[in-house]
C-alpha cells in the first residue's frame, strides 16, 4: 500500500522527530460514548457481530475521525479475539463484561491450545484492517493492536472480568510451569496476530497490558514483561512488522518504565498515576511516551479539561516524542463535546508550546 500519509504527526512523534503540534488520539475512541456507535452496534446485533463485519468495523473506526481532528485511527476490534479463535467461546452480555464459555483451568485445557491461523480463524480482523486502510485514504495512520500475553491469560483463566484475577495469579504461584506454557503459546499467538495486522496494512502496533499492574515487581518481570519482550523480538525479526513502531502499555506500571524501554519498543503508554516529567526521566530518551490524562477529567467542565490538558502537555515539555492520550480508555458516560474540547486544546496548546 503506497498511499501517501496526509497527516504523519503521530508516526513522527513516535520516532521522536519534530512535529508542528502534539498528536492526539484517545484509547477506546470508537465506543459507547458516541451515539452513532450505539446505533451501528444495535444494527449489528451484538459486539462480536459488529467486530466480525469488516464494513461495520470500518464504519465505527471512522466515526470518531468525522467528529474530532484525531491524528490516528485504531482498528475496531477487541483484545479477546485471540482466545475466541482458540475456541474459548467469547460473548458480551449487554451491559456486562466479556464471558468465555470454556475457560482454561487445567493442564489438559492448556495443552490443547494452539496458535490460531491468522488468515482463516482471524481473517475478519485482517479484512477489517484492509477495508479501513482503503477507506482512510492516507488521512491518518492506522493502529493495529493486541492484548499482552499476561492480560489475555487473565481473562482466559478467570473466564470473565475480575478485580484481581486471582485464579491466574494462583496458577503462577502453584503451577508456574503451566502458567509459562500458557503465556508462551499466547506470546506466539500475539506475535503472529500483530505480524498479520502489519501485513494487512496496520501502520503502528500497540500491546495492551491492562492487568500487568496487578503483579508485584518480580512477578511482573517474570509473567508479563518477559512475554511482551518475546513479542517485540518476534516483531523486529519479521519483514512485515520490522519497520513499524510498537507501543507497550501496562496500566499501573510506572515503576517498570525503564525495564519496559529495554525491550526495544518504540513508545510506552503511561497512565495518570505517574507524572510525565518523571516518566521521561525514567526512560532517558530511549522511547516516546503516550498519555496520560485521567479519563475521569472528561466528566468535568470544559475549562477544567483545557487546564488539565495543558498541565499534561507542560509535564512533558517542549521535547520531541509525546503522543497525547488518556491514561486509560474513555468511559461511556463522557459527553462527546468534551472530547472535542480535549483534542482542540491539545493541538492549540501543543502548537504554542512548540512555537
Q: Which residues carry out catalysis?
A: 28, 32, 41, 78, 155
Work out how close the CB of 251 gets to ligand CP3 at its nearest, in angstroms, rounded to a whole number: 7
Residues 75 and 124: beta-carbon distance below 8 Å: no
**Measured from the CB atom, is 65 or 283 closer to ligand CP3?**
65
Give Cα separations from 68 to 41, 153, 256, 348 (angstroms).
20, 35, 33, 14
- Per CB under 6 A, contacts with ligand CP3 among 297-336 are 329
Q: Which of residues 27-86 bind ligand CP3 (CB under 6 A)?
A: 27-32, 41, 47, 74, 76-80
Pairing between strand 267-269 and 246-250?
parallel
* Distance in angstroms (rounded) separating the CA atoms of residues 53 and 29: 19
Nearer to ligand CP3, 29 or 197 (CB): 29
Residue 100 binding ligand CP3, by CB under 6 A: no
Residue with smaller CB distance to ligand CP3, 79 or 342: 79
Name the H helices within 201-284. 217-219, 226-237, 257-261, 276-283
- Residue stretches of the annotated binding site: 28-32, 78, 155, 210, 328
Among 161, 176, 217, 317, which residue sits at the site for ligand CP3 (rule: CB under 6 A)? 161
> If you count them, how many residues does the chain have?
355
Q: Is 97 in the site for ligand CP3 (CB under 6 A)?
A: yes
Binding-site sequence positions for substrate: 28-32, 78, 155, 210, 328
Q: Whole-number minimum distance, CB 289 to ligand CP3, in Å? A: 18
Q: Which residues 126-145 are close enough to bind ligand CP3 by CB under 6 A?
A: 145
**Footprint on residues 265-304 left by ligand CP3 (CB under 6 A):** none
Total binding residues for ligand CP3 by CB under 6 A? 22
Site string for ligand CP3, 184-223 (x = CB under 6 A): ------------------------x-x-------------
Shortest Å, Cβ 230 to ligand CP3: 19
Q: What is d(CA 198, CA 153) in angstroms, rounded to the nearest whole number?
A: 23
Nearer to ligand CP3, 212 or 349 (CB): 212
Residue found under cell 502537555: 313
Minimal CB distance residue for ligand CP3: 210
Shortest Å distance, C-beta 96 to ligand CP3: 8
CB of 109 to ligand CP3, least distance (A): 21
Q: How far apart are CA 345 and CA 305, in angstroms?
A: 9
CB nearer to ligand CP3: pick between 161 and 176? 161
Nearer to ligand CP3, 21 or 210 (CB): 210
Enumerate binding residues for ligand CP3 (CB under 6 A).
27-32, 41, 47, 74, 76-80, 92, 97-98, 145, 161, 208, 210, 329
Amino acid at each position: 500500500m503506497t498511499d501517501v500519509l496526509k497527516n504523519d504527526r503521530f508516526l513522527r512523534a513516535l520516532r521522536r522527530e519534530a512535529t508542528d503540534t502534539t498528536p492526539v488520539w484517545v484509547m477506546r475512541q470508537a465506543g459507547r460514548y458516541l451515539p452513532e456507535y450505539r446505533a451501528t452496534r444495535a444494527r449489528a446485533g451484538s459486539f462480536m457481530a459488529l467486530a466480525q463485519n469488516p464494513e461495520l468495523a470500518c464504519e465505527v473506526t471512522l466515526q470518531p475521525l468525522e467528529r474530532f481532528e484525531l491524528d490516528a485511527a485504531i482498528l475496531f476490534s477487541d483484545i479477546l479475539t485471540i482466545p475466541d479463535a482458540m475456541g474459548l467461546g467469547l460473548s458480551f452480555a449487554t451491559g456486562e463484561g466479556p464471558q468465555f464459555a470454556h475457560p482454561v483451568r487445567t493442564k489438559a485445557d492448556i495443552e490443547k491450545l494452539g496458535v490460531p491461523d491468522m488468515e482463516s480463524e482471524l481473517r475478519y480482523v485482517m479484512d477489517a484492517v484492509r477495508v479501513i486502510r482503503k477507506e482512510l485514504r492516507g488521512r491518518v495512520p492506522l493502529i493495529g493492536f493486541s492484548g499482552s500475553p499476561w492480560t489475555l491469560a487473565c481473562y482466559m483463566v478467570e473466564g470473565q472480568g475480575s478485580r484481581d484475577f486471582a485464579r491466574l495469579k494462583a496458577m503462577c504461584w502453584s503451577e508456574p510451569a503451566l502458567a509459562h506454557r500458557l503465556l508462551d503459546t499466547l506470546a506466539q499467538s500475539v506475535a503472529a496476530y500483530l505480524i498479520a495486522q502489519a501485513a494487512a496494512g496496520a501502520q503502528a502496533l500497540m500491546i495492551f497490558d491492562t492487568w500487568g499492574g496487578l503483579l508485584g515487581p518480580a512477578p511482573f518481570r517474570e509473567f508479563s514483561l518477559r512475554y511482551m519482550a518475546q513479542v517485540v523480538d518476534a516483531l523486529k525479526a519479521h519483514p512485515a512488522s520490522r519497520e513499524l513502531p510498537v507501543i507497550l502499555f501496562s496500566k499501573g506500571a510506572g515503576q517498570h518504565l525503564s525495564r519496559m524501554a529495554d525491550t526495544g519498543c518504540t513508545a510506552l503508554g503511561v497512565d495518570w498515576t505517574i507524572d510525565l516529567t518523571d516518566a521521561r526521566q525514567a526512560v532517558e530518551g530511549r522511547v516516546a511516551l503516550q498519555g496520560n490524562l485521567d479519563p475521569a477529567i472528561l466528566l468535568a467542565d470544559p475549562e477544567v479539561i483545557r487546564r488539565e490538558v495543558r498541565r499534561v502537555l507542560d509535564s512533558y515539555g517542549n521535547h520531541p516524542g509525546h503522543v497525547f492520550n488518556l491514561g486509560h480508555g474513555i468511559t461511556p458516560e463522557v459527553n462527546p463535546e468534551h472530547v472535542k474540547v480535549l483534542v482542540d486544546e491539545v493541538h492549540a496548546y501543543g502548537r504554542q508550546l512548540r512555537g
